[in-house]
Amino acid sequence: MRLLLGWILNALALLAVAYYVPNIHVADFATALLAALAIGLVNLLVRPILVLLTLPITLLTLGLFLLLINGVLFYAVGNVLPGFEVQTIRAGLIGALLYSVLAWLLGAIVIDDKKDK
């Protein structure tokens, strides 16, 4: 149940990002659900490999290069998935940062971990 709720919250966060960032467009809620799933899968499968390959530059930039990795992956998903469009890398960087913050905030507000304990 928590996984389904988290998925819906991520889709809502993606819709909010598309509303506030001018170069990001999401067609509808179903597309937002699909895009949230795709972003989650890319972050689960591709991101760890990229983080490992770029570890030296990540250490040199004290972790700031991870923001670039997140933005590029967000941009890549926006270019592959129909109905979810990220027009520029800058929009991808801003969108990924805003998406991460909003998804975390919504999850922290709605999903209460103390109930399970």
As a whole number, the mean pLDDT across the chain is 93
Number of domains in the chain: 1
Longest dimension (CA), the chain: 43
Is residue 62 assigned to a domain? yes
The pTM (predicted TM-score) of the whole model is 0.89
Structure tokens at 101: 């913050």
CB 12 within 8 A of CB 50: no
The confidence band for 115, taking pLDDT boundaries of 50, 70 and 90, is: low
Q: Is residue 117 part of a domain?
A: no
- Residue 2 within a domain: no
**Predicted pLDDT at 79:** 95
Q: For residue 59, tell me if it sits in a domain.
A: yes
The dihedral through the CA atoms of 41, 46, 49, 55 has a sign that is negative
Query: pLDDT digit string (tens) for 82-105?
Result: 999 999 999 999 999 999 999 999
Whole-angstrom distance, CA of residue 44 vs CA of residue 14? 17
Flag whether 116 is in a domain.
no
Placement of tokens 């909003």 in the chain: 102
Residue 72 lies in a domain: yes
Domain range holding 60?
A: 7-109
* 116: pLDDT strictly greater than 80: no
Asked if residue 20 belongs to a domain, the reply is yes
Is the residue at 115 inside a domain?
A: no
Residue 1's pLDDT band, with cuts at 50, 70 and 90, is: confident
